[in-house]
Structure 1
Amino acid sequence: MSLNESAENYLETILVLSKSRPVVRSVDVATELGFKKSSVSVAMKKLRQNEHITVSPEGYIYLTVTGKEIAEMIYERHKLLSSWLTALGVDKDIAAEDACRIEHVISKESFEAIKKHVK
């Protein structure tokens, strides 16, 4: 289930967007991340080839079971780490940026320990 940081960010973005809109398209992901649509299209092709997403004939993007598992794991890490850093007194924007970097490299063991400590 190991992916690079970029792929994890795309999956997380698809998950977050799917919570607030009925369908997600490449243009939505590009707008959200501030990337060119062509760059997002290349990434979506790789995610599709690795069976992390499916794309309907209309261009709607859906997470597969494995894609959703990865996205939810990254999103959980992001939410917990950013709220924890904010609670420690870090500015919310800096906390979100730092959480975004940490969420991809922290081990499962360390994250679970932080999660247990925080809750």
Structure 2
Amino acid sequence: MGKTDDSTSLKSTPLIEAERQVESFRQVREAHRMELVEDYVELISDLLADGGEARQVDIATRLGVAQPTVAKMLRRLARDGWVVQRPYRGVFLTPEGEALAHASRQRHQTVERFLLALGVDADTARRDAEGIEHHVSEQTLALFEAFVRKAEGEAP
């Protein structure tokens, strides 16, 4: 008996049309661009809800980055209309920022509940959801939600 090469036993998938591939990569790039924005506004919302303020130092600590990195991102978020910075009072979300934080939190919770329903342990589900939430379509999220409801015995 000869030794089998695992790489030859894998079936290759046919190359998709160029336009479809371009659209797929465009969606991924857009998701990457928005990922940081969503992480920041969601964290700011959480800090405001927990302690009534979102300070640059707290954001840096929780994200594990330097304060100048946070300062640069906060300027970008302010420029794009997601946050308002008030001297000596911290950072606040605009109505658009609040809406984005809410939507991001809902996506995260849906993905996390889906992973838990699959049997993933709680810590891994939380960490994995943090990355996955930014890269799933609305259609996929709806199916995740339907799966979770069915697994939990709820009506769809």
Cα offset, 1:87, TM superposition: 2.8
Q: Which amino acid aligns with 1:104?
A: H
Q: Higher relative CO (CA 8 A, sep ≥ 6), structure 1 or 2?
A: 1
1:58 has 2:98 as partner: no
Tell me the C-alpha RMSD between the 2 structures.
1.6
- TM-score, length-normalised on structure 2? 0.70
- TM-score, length-normalised on structure 1? 0.89
1:78 has 2:82 as partner: no
Cα offset, 1:32, TM superposition: 1.1
Q: Say which is worse superposed, 30-39 or 84-93, in terms of deviation.
A: 84-93
CA distance in 2: counterparts of 1:85 and 1:50, whole angstroms? 33
Aligned residue in 2 for 1:92: 122
Runs of 4+ deviating beyond 3 Å: none
1:21 has 2:47 as partner: no
CA distance in 2: counterparts of 1:40 and 1:92, whole angstroms? 29
Q: Which amino acid aligns with 1:47?
A: L
CA distance in 1: counterparts of 2:95 and 2:146, whole angstroms? 26
Unaligned runs of 5+ in 1: none
Cα offset, 1:36, TM superposition: 0.8
CA distance in 1: counterparts of 2:95 and 2:64, whole angstroms? 26
Contact 1:51 1:64 in 2 (8 A): yes
Contact 1:26 1:59 in 2 (8 A): no
Unaligned runs of 5+ in 2: 1-30, 150-156
Aligned residues: 118
